[in-house]
Structure 1
Amino acid sequence: MEFVKKFMTEKAEKFNGKAAMLGMFALIGAYYFTGQIVPGIF
């Protein structure tokens, strides 16, 4: 339980949320410019 308290802080959760939103915008941008969900694969 100490491991969870040490690494699952509010700051870490906010950073994770920002990284997830950046990934979503990157996917939308890639789809907009290339017409493919994952350019080069799909």
Structure 2
Amino acid sequence: MEFAKKIMTEKAEKLNGKAAMLGMFALVGAYYFTGQILPGIF
């Protein structure tokens, strides 16, 4: 458990949240411009 506490820091959690939000905005943008959830697939 001590090992996980060193890796899962507050800075790492914030970075992960920012990356997730960037992905969500990319999905919304792709849907807005193409009308498809994953352009070329769906």
**TM-score, reference length from structure 1:** 0.94
Number of residue equivalences: 42
Question: What is the aligned-residue RMSD (CA, Å)?
Answer: 0.6
Which residues of structure 1 form unaligned runs of 5+? none
In the alignment, the residues of structure 2 paired with residue 34 and residue 17 of structure 1 have an alpha-carbon distance, to the nearest angstrom, of: 26
**TM-score, reference length from structure 2:** 0.94
Offset from partner CA, 1:5-42 (integer Å, 9 cap, x none): 11100000000000000000000000000000001110
Question: 1:1-40 maps to which residues of 2 (within 5 A)?
Answer: 1-40=1-40
Q: Which runs of 4+ in 1 moved over 2 A?
A: none
